Amino acid sequence: MDLLVKSVVEGNVQQVVESSKTHLSSGVDPLDIIADGLVAGMNIVGPRFKSGEMYVPEVIMSAKAMSEGMKILKTFLKDDDLPSEGKIVIGTVKGDLHDIGKNLVAILLESSGYKIINLGVDVSPEEFSEAVHEHQPDVIGLSALLTTTMMEMKNTVDYLSEKGLRNNVKIITGGAPVSAAFSREIGADGYASDAGSAIELVQSLLKND
């Protein structure tokens, strides 16, 4: 399994695909290949990214490699075979079209075992509310990169409160202009300064729930 882990870390898509198929043909359980190969590889990528040893393009390549491996392995699994650490709805708030940071958070959370519903960019409070109704997530992640859209985070928190949904979900925030103080001020449950911190924050919030 070491080669598969190494291939994920290096973002070697072809090698991940070939190694996944080799393990399958050897009779290894697909869930074990996912846990001990694909996820184990991304568990190396996350800390390396946080410490500055890896950069965004490298993380994206690692995530793509993992994703291609997952496509093969999922065909041998039922939908409910894959364990889930929790469900997360994530999106960039209304008026903001930035998504690289938000997508990176989504990638690392998904590789850590969370089911991700990525709503994209320019997401209104109403759309976040609809997603809570539809998906019943454990966490909502709000992203903003513009100071002019930061207050849409507050509008979203307030709207969820008005609809009686606020207490059903943890809300986290992130983005360049956002701070822990601002996050507390608008009534969110936590703030993450980067993708690695987002994983730790989600784990902490759900563990203490």
Q: Name the packing angle between helices 56-74 and 13-25 (round to 10°).
A: 30
Instruction: Please determine, for residue 81, whether its predicted confidence score (pLDDT) is greater than 70.
Output: no
7 pLDDT band (50/70/90 cuts)?
A: very high
Would you state the pLDDT for residue 151? 96
CA distances, 86 to each of 10, 112, 115, 136 (Å): 27, 10, 6, 10
- Topology given in CATH for the domain delimited by 86-207: Rossmann fold (3.40.50)
CA pair distance 64, 111, nearest whole angstrom: 11
183 or 113: which leads in pLDDT: 183
Which contiguous run of DSSP H or E holds residue 196? helix 195-207
pLDDT score for 80 = 64
pLDDT band, very low/low/confident/very high, at 75 (cuts 50, 70, 90): confident
End-to-end Cα distance, the chain = 35
Domain spanning 2-74: which CATH class is it, in words? mainly alpha
Domain definitions of the chain by residue range? 2-74, 86-207
Q: Under a CB-based contact definition with an 8 Å cutoff, are residues 96 and 142 in contact? A: no
